Structure 1
Amino acid sequence: MTPTPVVRLGEICDATERLIEEVREEQWAAPTPCTEWSVRDLVNHLVAGNRRFTGVLRGAVPPGNAPRPPVTDVLGDDPLAAFRDSSRDMLAAFEEPGVLDKKVSMPIGTVPGIVALQLRIVEGLVHGWDLARATGQTVRFPDDLVEQALAFTRDKLGDIPPDRSPFGVPTPVPDDAPSLDRLAAFLGRPVTAATD
């Protein structure tokens, strides 16, 4: 049986949770491929994003149209627990009846719930890649899921107004690069500058 998109998002959350679990104390201040963020900032962004999606799916209006609202610390003293709890709540919100069919207001505009889910999958994949690169870890996301996300991104990124796009300008990457590297490069990461 083919896993549902919500189950696939859960796989991404699980893999990212394992990455967070292995972050060493001295790595929290380390830089990431998101040049303005440290590892802690990146994990904070993931948790805040999970919470924003949960709120929006349950009827909250997103704060303005900025793709990256002002950052406040939502990690507290336990980043792993904060991520785990926010992921659980977000997945539960995506599983509520009718959510994938209803229109939800996101910073990029109003989209069906299934599109919001796909956006969260893409963001989870690329930020998992960011976190793995920043901490010297290897992340394993299913290739078929990454290929689907890459196809979705190529198809839909042009629909996002440039002033609302949360991603960078695509960077060069070899055609035969792993699918996750190709997704990261498409979303503005300097793949060739990093090492495995």
Structure 2
Amino acid sequence: MTTTAGPVADLERALHATATIIDGVPDDRRAAQSPCAGWTVTDVVEHVLTGNLVVARALGPDLADAPEVAESLAPRFRSSSEALVAALSLPDALSGTVTVPFGTVPVPVAVGLRTVEALVHGWDVAVGSGQDTGALPEDLAVAGIAFTESMFTTTDRARLPFAPAVAVDPAAPAIERLAGLLGRTDPRG
């Protein structure tokens, strides 16, 4: 399913970019440490696909789960992404609310959170598996920075599941700045 414009289309682009990175994870890097403290590359992917399914189920409870096949990390991620986009495309889906780890929010806020989640965890997977982070859309990362900063002004950061921000060169690509805003340090230097 492909949407044409708006926040769901942005989420779909972020999920697609992250899926492309997951496609490129070599089998011998799946257990590698990611920049997300204490999580392997596989742990990060599992976290994002689980979050996709949680939100999808909240909006469309009859949606199927991603298949439980350990070897199919990328197809499972794509399946969870498709389920989420399908749920968000249901009539009136964007007018409701959904519960996320720090409370109940309007669905458009949840879409913004899922977009940032896809981007930053896509970065985690790319870095942890030794891939280039350039597949992650710069414009979405710029929007993700603005969205995240707005979340920090309206929600107590201690309630949000993010590490403290780390300093990143202001001239760095937007995805690097977004990752730093959410507490990530690139171990590659």
**TM tier relative to shorter chain:** 0.7 to 0.9
CA drift at 1:37: 0.6
Residues 103 and 112 of structure 1 are in contact (CA less than 8 Å); yes or no, is this contact kept in structure 2?
yes
CA drift at 1:163: 4.7
Which residue is equivalent to 2:121? 127
Which residue is equivalent to 1:151? 146
Which residue is equivalent to 1:14? 16
Unmatched runs of 5 consecutive residues or more in structure 2: 63-67
- Name the Cα RMSD after superposition: 2.0
After superposition, the Cα gap between the structure-2 partners of 1:141 and 1:94, relative to the gap in structure 1 and judged at 3 Å, is same
Unmatched runs of 5 consecutive residues or more in structure 1: 61-73
Q: What is the count of residue pairs matched by the alignment?
A: 181
Which residue is equivalent to 2:71? 77
2:185 is aligned with 1:183: no
Which residue is equivalent to 2:65? none
Distance (Å, rounded) in 2 between the aligned partners of 1:141 and 1:77: 24
2:60 is aligned with 1:58: yes
The runs of at least 4 aligned residues of structure 1 exceeding 4 Å deviation read: none
Distance (Å, rounded) in 1 between the aligned partners of 2:148 and 2:43: 24
Q: Which amino acid aligns with 1:131?
A: V
Q: Which amino acid aligns with 1:145?
A: L
Residues 19 and 137 of structure 1 are in contact (CA less than 8 Å); yes or no, is this contact kept in structure 2?
yes
CA drift at 1:194: 2.6
Distance (Å, rounded) in 2 between the aligned partners of 1:59 and 1:22: 31
Q: Which amino acid aligns with 1:14?
A: H
CA deviation map 1:49-70 (0-9, x unaligned): 111111222369xxxxxxxxxx
Which residue is equivalent to 1:113? 107
Identity, % of aligned pairs? Answer: 37
3-state SS of paired residue (1:100): helix
After superposition, the Cα gap between the structure-2 partners of 1:75 and 1:160, relative to the gap in structure 1 and judged at 3 Å, is farther
3-state SS of paired residue (2:94): coil
